[in-house]
Amino acid sequence: MQEHLIIIGGVAAGTKAASKVRRENRDLKITLYTDEKYISYSACGTPYYIGDVIKSEEKILVRSPKEFRTKENIDIKLLHRVTAIMPDDNKVTVKNLETEEEFEDEYTNLLIATGSRSFIPPIEGVELNNVYKLKSISDSIKIKKSAKTAKKAVIIGAGYIGLELAESFRGLGLETTIIEMSPQVLNTFDPDLAGQVKAYLEEEKGVRIILEDSVTKLKGDAKGNLTGVRTEKGQNINAELVVIAVGVKPNVELAEEAGIEIGETGAIKVNKRMQTSIPNIYAAGDCVETVNMITGRQVWIPLGSTANKQGRVAAINIAGGYAEFNGVLGSAVTKIFEYTASISGLNEKTAKKLGIGYEIAIVSHKDRSGYMPDAGEITLKILADRETGKFIGIQAVGKGDADKRVNVIATAMTAAMTVSEFLQTDLTYAPPYSPAIDPLLIAAQILEKKISKDITSISPQDLEKYLKEKKTCSIVDIRKPEEFREWHLKKAKNMSTDELEKRILKERPESILICCDEGMKSYIESLRLKEKGCKNVTFIDGGINYLKNIPEYREKKD
């Protein structure tokens, strides 16, 4: 029998693997089954199609079934659902969704690329008209059509998809509300940076955001058309369009029923060559778990970029070569109107949970020379392991090139670079592209000082704990007097840097906390005081701008 590769799934991992296997082996028979109407499309592009940035769904189709068949001799079976895998016989059972016909097909190697599906919580009324999920091109076509006539939309979930959809809906003129059950948007980020994104959406883009609440009922009229939502805390919000974007689940049922091992995350367990517990069955993409390259632990982080890389590795091994997939850092980026939010590696929440000793640096800075007319502000938050000095995470948000900085640190983490080694990195400079000293190098300088214990700081979210421990702490605000009068931390005193140095060197208080707007000035002043022998000085990472709208910290002068 001719060797036969069967692939289940036709989006990122499946089609990537099919093409790569064909390049490696011109004679292998390849059949790809998908229960969808479309294959090889960019699911990540669907919010931009909905928002009419991309005018036609054809634009987010990478390749057509005809191209696969005629150019690569790959047999694409649309609207064909694999209903069972029989490993002992090396066969699958397939159902043609158009004719209802069922048949068996035999394979030499099998690749499971079944991806993930939207998680739909048990909300009353999810069957109403104009209630959608967003996982496929078909979903996006329905949402786009509905958005043309709707005036008010509700998005359930404040993750990447939810925030991207908010941009699309606002661009179409829809009054938009986001409802999120957790206390912040973008749960993979720490609250300080996520808070910046929330403030931007509300204050500049008119998106209403409701946190720490959940939808319990979708309301409709006698014709079954959506009219609004009701939340657990009793809020009633009118809406003609709802999109549920609370997350996804891996499609593992086929594998599980076939006796293939499922990992601790609930996704399919694979080795570095993308083999499952059955050697001639491979798996790749959103349906598999992988390794976090920093912690060495199993994780499930479904991303299109990862799916493509895993599909390539699986293909090389299926074709008789040797390749390994070593894991992920969880690198991701999303566009939210003019804002960029990007992340790689661990956040503070995860580092604390895992018991990792770390230091952080938060830097707000222009992404290019400040005198350039298109310079944009970005905030970087970088984490480094206190013991090894290696980077373990970065988050970046703002209107500038945040993702460029995240990609640089992701590369440094992959190479296991220390902060000290990174400070020798020869980054490019020209005014239209970066400041003379890149914000990354500024952050690395701060981290190096903190790791070597030359200086100490606290993060904004640790301020309450710090003040409880340091009850006699002197809080000194070194901002301009007019900024101080507008608002300041409770019990803070306003001083110039000259006045501060004179008084501190003379009085030597038990502990002093220096704060400014974005953290940089207070870092430099703390460093100066340390150099002059003051050992009890601390500053707030990233400054106090994060705390401006938190009543328990704020004291406003009349």
Distance, in Å, from the CA atom of 6 to the CA atom of 310, rounded to the nearest integer, reads: 16
Name beta bridge partners: 288.
Answer: 268
Cα separation values, 208 from 205, 217, 558, Å: 9, 19, 29
Distance, in Å, from the CA atom of 488 to the CA atom of 466, rounded to the nearest integer, reads: 17
Q: Specify if 343 maps to a domain.
A: yes
Measured N-to-C along each axis, helices 65-72 and 12-24 cross at an angle, to the nearest 10 degrees, of 10
Angle at 454 (CA atoms; ends 453, 456), nearest 5 degrees? 70
Q: Which domain holds residue 73?
A: 4-43+57-115+249-318
Q: What is the pLDDT of residues 326-345, one digit of tens each?
A: 999 999 999 999 999 999 99
Q: Specify if 137 maps to a domain.
A: yes
- Are 218 and 256 members of one domain? no
Distance, in Å, from the CA atom of 260 to the CA atom of 235, rounded to the nearest integer, reads: 45
- In tens digits, what is the pLDDT along the chain, a chain of 558 residues? 689 999 999 999 999 999 999 999 999 999 999 999 988 888 888 999 999 898 888 888 888 888 999 999 999 999 999 999 999 999 999 999 999 999 999 999 999 999 999 999 999 999 999 999 998 899 999 999 999 999 999 999 999 999 999 999 999 999 999 999 999 999 999 998 999 999 999 999 999 999 999 999 999 999 999 999 999 999 999 999 999 999 999 999 999 999 999 999 999 999 999 999 999 999 999 999 999 999 999 999 999 999 999 999 999 999 999 999 999 999 999 999 999 999 999 999 999 999 999 999 999 999 999 999 999 999 999 999 999 999 999 999 999 999 999 999 999 999 999 999 999 999 999 999 999 999 999 999 999 999 998 788 988 878 888 888 887 788 999 999 999 998 898 889 999 988 888 887 777 777 889 999 888 899 999 988 888 888 789 999 988 887 776 665 666 554
Angle at 281 (CA atoms; ends 328, 77), nearest 5 degrees? 100
Name beta bridge partners: 341.
Answer: 334, 397
- Are 191 and 272 members of one domain? no
Distance, in Å, from the CA atom of 117 to the CA atom of 36, rounded to the nearest integer, reads: 13
DSSP secondary structure letters along 236-277: EEE-SEEEE-S-EEE--HHHHHTTPPB-TTSSBP--TT-B-S
**Using CB atoms within 10 A of its CB, is residue 451 exposed (0-12), middle (13-18) or buried (19+)?**
buried
- Are 111 and 253 members of one domain? yes
Q: Specify if 121 maps to a domain.
A: no
- Are 147 and 242 members of one domain? yes
- Are 264 and 225 members of one domain? no
- Are 241 and 135 members of one domain? yes
- Are 470 and 505 members of one domain? yes
Q: Specify if 204 maps to a domain.
A: yes
Cα separation values, 388 from 344, 356, 358, 425, Å: 18, 11, 10, 18
CATH of the domain at 503: 3.40.250.10
Distance, in Å, from the CA atom of 412 to the CA atom of 220, rounded to the nearest integer, reads: 52
pTM, 2 dp: 0.91
Contact criterion met (CB below 8 Å) for 243 and 143: yes
Domain boundary among 404, 425, 451: 451
- The gap from C-alpha 118 to its chain's centroid, in whole angstroms, comes to 16
- Are 400 and 446 members of one domain? yes
Contact criterion met (CB below 8 Å) for 392 and 345: yes
Strands (E), 469-556: 474-477, 488-489, 492-494, 512-515, 537-540, 554-555
Name beta bridge partners: 117.
Answer: 249
Q: Specify if 331 maps to a domain.
A: no
Distance, in Å, from the CA atom of 454 to the CA atom of 533, rounded to the nearest integer, reads: 11
> Which helix (H) or strand (E) covers residue 22, if one does?
helix 12-24
Domain boundary among 418, 451, 484: 451
CA dihedral 528, 488, 360, 189 (to 10 degrees): -160
Q: Specify if 543 maps to a domain.
A: yes
Distance, in Å, from the CA atom of 522 to the CA atom of 249, rounded to the nearest integer, reads: 45
- Are 375 and 282 members of one domain? no
Annotation marks residue 44 as catalytic: yes
Residue 145 has which token pair?
């059509």
Nearest Cα to Cα of residue 536 among 490, 491, 474? 474
- The gap from C-alpha 288 to its chain's centroid, in whole angstroms, comes to 18
Residue 30 has which token pair?
């390849």
Residue 460 has which token pair?
């904004």
Q: Specify if 469 maps to a domain.
A: yes
Q: Is the dihedral of CA 281, 287, 289, 290 positive or negative?
A: positive
Distance, in Å, from the CA atom of 311 to the CA atom of 297, rounded to the nearest integer, reads: 21
| Amino acid present at 323 | A
Q: Specify if 421 maps to a domain.
A: yes
Name beta bridge partners: 292.
Answer: 328
CATH of the domain at 277: 3.50.50.60
Number of domains making up the chain: 4
Rg, C-alpha atoms of the chain: 27
- Are 470 and 393 members of one domain? no
- Are 224 and 281 members of one domain? no
Q: What is the pLDDT of residues 462-497, one digit of tens each?
A: 888 888 888 778 899 999 999 999 889 888 999 998
- Are 240 and 268 members of one domain? no
Name beta bridge partners: 345.
Answer: 393
Start-to-end Cα distance in the chain: 86
Distance, in Å, from the CA atom of 529 to the CA atom of 501, rounded to the nearest integer, reads: 7
**Cβ neighbours of residue 116 under 8 Å, at least 6 residues apart?**
135, 248, 249, 250, 251, 286, 287, 302
Distance, in Å, from the CA atom of 184 to the CA atom of 124, rounded to the nearest integer, reads: 24
- The gap from C-alpha 541 to its chain's centroid, in whole angstroms, comes to 22
| Structure-token match 């953290």, residue found | 519
Residue 291 has which token pair?
């390794």
Contact criterion met (CB below 8 Å) for 210 and 156: no
Catalytic residue among 44, 473, 515, 534: 44
Domain boundary among 451, 471, 504: 451
Strands (E), 87-165: 91-96, 102-106, 109-112, 116-118, 131-133, 152-156
Distance, in Å, from the CA atom of 261 to the CA atom of 272, rounded to the nearest integer, reads: 15
